[in-house]
Amino acid sequence: MSSAPLPFLLEIGTEEIPDWMIERALAQLLESLEAIFLKEKLSFESIGVAATPRRLVVRAYELQARQADDMQTIKGPSVEIAYRGHQLTQVGLAFIRKHNISGDERTNLQEEKSGRAFLGALRRIPGRRTVDILAEALPKLVLGVHFPKTMYWTGKGGPRFIRPIRWIVALLGDEVIPFELAGVRSGAVTSGHRRLGAREIAVTTADYEQRLRENYVILSAEERRHKIHDGMAGVRVKRDDALVETLAYLTEHPTPIVGSFDAEFLELPEEVLVTVMRHHQKYFSVEDEHGKLAPQFVAVMNIPSDPEGFVRRGNERVLRARFNDARFFWETDQKKSLAARVADLAHVTFQAKLGTYLEKTERVKALVGALGGDAHAVRAAELAKCDLTTELVKEFTELQGVVGGLYARAQGEEDAVWQAIYDHYKPESMEDAIPRNRTGQIVALADKLDTLRGCFGVGLIPTGSRDPFALRRAAQGVVKILVEGKVDLDLAPLVNDPTDGAKALTEFLQDRIRYYFKDVRGFQYDEVNAAMAAGWSNLVDLEARLIRIRNLRSSPDFEPLAASFKRIRNILDQQKFTGTSAAAIDEKLLQDGPERDLYDEYRSIAGQPIESVISQLRPKVDLFFDKVLVNAPEDDVRRNRLMLLGTLLLEFSNIADFSEIVTTS
């Protein structure tokens, strides 16, 4: 029995889901639904997801309406036991009764391997209706979506989800897939825009999206993004894709409007104005034709129009109040210089076990000196944390550092100093730039290293996803600054104080180094392992060697040679051979032919870069392994051979441990 494939629609109607969680939830829904179809052997043409803040939607097209029938084989006793002549024995009959086997199903089965025959049955298992399968699977699918922070709302012990579920549309063709979830019965009724749409709207799989549109809900995030972009055409908006994304998932019917503010606020630093607009009000800022901030902003409403200007004026008033606050803080803070605030840092906790920011400042200053920072760097380190005592940073914490830099500039500090303060939290992510000058790089390094050493020292070590002090970001920042700033210094001695949890911290940093070169810079993992095995502490040097390895890898001789090096490493390890030294090779013991050739080759290439010798070295190594038995019966010959191989390995081991390279052959 077959029936035509059907469209499938699931809409989970909720209260407003945090914008940044929505796409991740959709990806999970898509994956889980696909897994169900696969497991249940249901064919489909395509699956798609969509969402607004109030609904998560999964749709499938041309979904098989019923599983195909399945043939089940039931194996019974062998024919010798089951039959006497053509008559079933007691054993045979018992089998037939136990499985309730009909005359049509009964058959003899031949086992292929042994050729033996058994009494058995072939039974047709009718496929289940997709509606029934989904009615069972969907509640689990929905509640199985993982969110960073969930809630319960129906009472203690009730189901958990990101926000309360208020309605569910579940349709396969015209039929409702019946189930209940958190006290809500699935149906064919959705809900429109909170204020402009109808509260209950009957839908079909065919008219669902159109009915939502009529009720002021634009289902497609892509369309909402476009609507935001189009609504800003003609305004010189500072590009901000992340904000577009946020607003696309904060609204069901986004419409940008342009507001303005008093130009006198432009006397405040641009950073402060932009932060207020961007982070506190979710406004786009606007530039004039010279790229300077213009006294305008774009807000995005969740309604189609503002004919009477209520929304524009409301937002303008809110912004005015915010800017007034900022100006008040800016002026108040200036009454006390950063230098005069150092002592106040004794009242700001860095971390309970690690004391105050005053203590941190002292440590960072000392560390700046140890890193070779000049007087400017020491001055910047002394003032770097002082903005934590300012009203402006208390109000706009995300401006820490930046505000300190701006105040330092206003208070006449040197460029190198104020820029270093301004930049010292950078890089805040892998995409963020490192501090713009060396002074800033040194201060940023010292600040981050101090945090890492301090936290590891008191056992605050990140585990899994728990990293409350953002130590991963700090370590990543250290790596990025050292490499991209080409800061030529050794990391290992800076993190080897045993009271600082040196072992754990060293491994933590090595992990971050691996991650940086592999995932950010695109080196192969074996290249990174090989290069780090030859030294990981100086990242400028490590990067240079990694580039050499990557270039070497294109040589046809590289992988075979790497394979030989791995073989050498294994032989040396097996023989527990150490103490390699070229001078210890006894030339008299060398056998003429491949062994002496290899030795001569070694003598001629020693001290040269591997790039220029690889093509002549490789055949000699190959031939050696081809013709020479390393494990010679004579003890002194064997030791001499091991010495030769060890010496060869050592010759190039300052670039990388090539035995770490994974070869295809």
Partner 1 sequence: MSSFQEIIFKLKQYWAERGCIIQEPYDVEVGAGTMCPETFLRVLGTEPYRVAYVQPSRRPADGRYGDNPNRLFKHSQLQVILKPSPDDVIEQYLASLEAIGIDLRKHDIKFEEDNWESPTLGAWGIGWQVMLDGLEITQFTYFQQCGGIDLDLVPAELTYGLERLTAFLQVRDSVYDIEWAKGFSYGDVRYREELQYSVYNFEMADIAMLWKLFELHEGEAARLLKLYDPKAADKQRFPLLPAYDQVLKCSNIFNTLDARGAISVTERVGVIQRVRKLAVGVAQAWVDQRQPAVAEVAQ
Kindly state whether residue 250 participates in binding partner 1, applying the rule CB under 8 A: yes
Interactions with partner 1, residue window 122-151 (CB under 8 A): 149, 151
Interface mask (CB under 8 A) for partner 1, residues 154-173, using x and -?
xxx------xx-x-------
Residue 202: partners with Cβ closer than 8 Å, 6 or more residues away = 188, 189, 211
Interactions with partner 1, residue window 38-77 (CB under 8 A): 53
Report in angstroms how near the CB of residue 363 gets to partner 1 at its nearest: 16
The sign of the CA dihedral 400, 401, 405, 408 is positive
> Which of the ranges 72-80, 153-161, 572-580, 656-664 carries the binding residues for partner 1, by CB under 8 A?
153-161
When the beta carbons of 281 and 555 are compared against partner 1, the nearer one is 281
> Applying CB under 8 A, which of residues 347, 503, 603, 627 lies at the interface with partner 1?
347
Report in angstroms how near the CB of residue 323 gets to partner 1 at its nearest: 12
> Which of the ranges 73-81, 318-326, 360-368, 620-628 carries the binding residues for partner 1, by CB under 8 A?
318-326
When the beta carbons of 141 and 301 are compared against partner 1, the nearer one is 301
> Applying CB under 8 A, which of residues 190, 275, 296, 302 lies at the interface with partner 1?
302
Residue 78: partners with Cβ closer than 8 Å, 6 or more residues away = 116, 117, 118, 119
Interface mask (CB under 8 A) for partner 1, residues 270-289, using x and -?
-----------x-x------
Q: Could you give the CA distance from residue 630 to residue 55 in angstroms, rounded to a whole number?
A: 70
Residue 164: partners with Cβ closer than 8 Å, 6 or more residues away = 14, 15, 151, 153, 182
Q: Could you give the CA distance from residue 290 to residue 596 in angstroms, rounded to a whole number?
A: 73
> Applying CB under 8 A, which of residues 48, 126, 314, 609 lies at the interface with partner 1?
314
Interactions with partner 1, residue window 11-30 (CB under 8 A): 15-16, 18-19
> Applying CB under 8 A, which of residues 38, 68, 321, 544 lies at the interface with partner 1?
321
Report in angstroms how near the CB of residue 11 gets to partner 1 at its nearest: 17
Question: Which two three-digit tokens encode residue 366?
Answer: 């000392």
Q: Nearest-CA neighbor of 361 among 346, 371, 376, 372?
A: 346
Kindly state whether residue 393 participates in binding partner 1, applying the rule CB under 8 A: no
When the beta carbons of 306 and 428 are compared against partner 1, the nearer one is 306
When the beta carbons of 173 and 454 are compared against partner 1, the nearer one is 454
Residue with the two structure tokens 């002194």: 636
Kindly state whether residue 353 participates in binding partner 1, applying the rule CB under 8 A: no
Q: Could you give the CA distance from residue 194 to residue 520 in angstroms, rounded to a whole number?
A: 43
Q: Left if phi > 0, otherwise alpha if psi is -120 to 50, otherwise beta: which for 480?
A: alpha
When the beta carbons of 68 and 263 are compared against partner 1, the nearer one is 263
When the beta carbons of 387 and 559 are compared against partner 1, the nearer one is 387
* Residue 551: count of CB within 10 angstroms of its CB: 11
Helix (H) and strand (E) counts in the chain: 23, 21
Residue 71: partners with Cβ closer than 8 Å, 6 or more residues away = 122, 123, 124, 125
Please state the φ and ψ torsions of residue 62, each to the nearest 5 degrees: 55, 45
> Which of the ranges 5-13, 71-79, 343-351, 589-597 carries the binding residues for partner 1, by CB under 8 A?
343-351
Residue 437: partners with Cβ closer than 8 Å, 6 or more residues away = 416, 419, 420, 423
Q: Tell me the residue type at 646.
A: G
Report in angstroms how near the CB of residue 183 gets to partner 1 at its nearest: 8
Residue with the two structure tokens 């935001």: 228
Q: Could you give the CA distance from residue 326 to residue 610 in angstroms, rounded to a whole number?
A: 61
- Three-state SS at 442: helix
Contact residues: partner 1, CB under 8 A: 15-16, 18-19, 53, 149, 151-156, 163-164, 166, 194-196, 199, 250-251, 281, 283, 299, 301-303, 306, 308, 310-311, 313-315, 317-321, 324-325, 328, 346-349, 352, 356
